[in-house]
Structure 1
Amino acid sequence: MPRFNRIDYVIWYVESLSRSVAFYTEVLGLDVRIDGDGYVEFAMDNTKFALFERAKLPELIGGEGGTAPAGEIGFIVDDVDAEAGRLRAAGVPILTGPIDRPWRERTLHIADPDGNIVEFAQKL
């Protein structure tokens, strides 16, 4: 069984990106670090915290319709392909991946029992 000793990020999937960004910046006082293509990441020292527009989810994790997950958590792993093999052997459906992403990570997405997304990422 793999051991994950670091959370890479947490992403909340939101209906209104502008409304949620206003809440996190104006009410909580966070600063935006990255803003683009339905994704906003806040400046944090210890992990990545971001918001992602629900309407863009099919582009990221595939699928259409149904109830959208509430969020996503990402783990850094040494070998995404090995994780994919282990998960498939355990009968876990793979949503996307392994796939090389433009941001220089190889990723794999699965869903937890409640439909929330779990990403495994390998730095390239």
Structure 2
Amino acid sequence: MSISLQYCHITVNELDESLAFYRDALGLEARNDVASGGFRWVTLGTASQPDLEIVLSEPHAGRSQADGDALQELLTKGVLPMIVFRTDDLDATFEKVRASGAEVLQEPIDQPWGPRDCAFRDPSGNMVRISQAPKA
């Protein structure tokens, strides 16, 4: 028996603005854009992980009004869980994302626990960390 991660959800305020960030600034490829019930779900991925997709959706997409409201409040506060990406060239990735106008939370630094990383906020306020494994 094997198990693997298939989808990871990121809640966003505005799909097109967030799609531009994840596609254009981070370089993910858009795979699906599905409309249902007045909302859209957009999936993105990378060639290096073809079976894993990130799903972008708005707080009320597929949720009750109360649950959507609660999720919107957490998103507004900027306290939803972060997402962490890995790259083989942190400095180049950092410059590309910074050039997109994303809010920089942390410039690239070597962390005491090993990786070199940086952090941004996506257009909805989610923390996005980008990590590079330590050089051997």
Please give the range of the TM-score, normalised by the shorter of the 2 chains: 0.3 to 0.5
Please give the TM-score of this superposition, normalised by the length of structure 1: 0.46
Larger Rg: 2
Relative to the length of structure 2, the TM-score reads 0.42
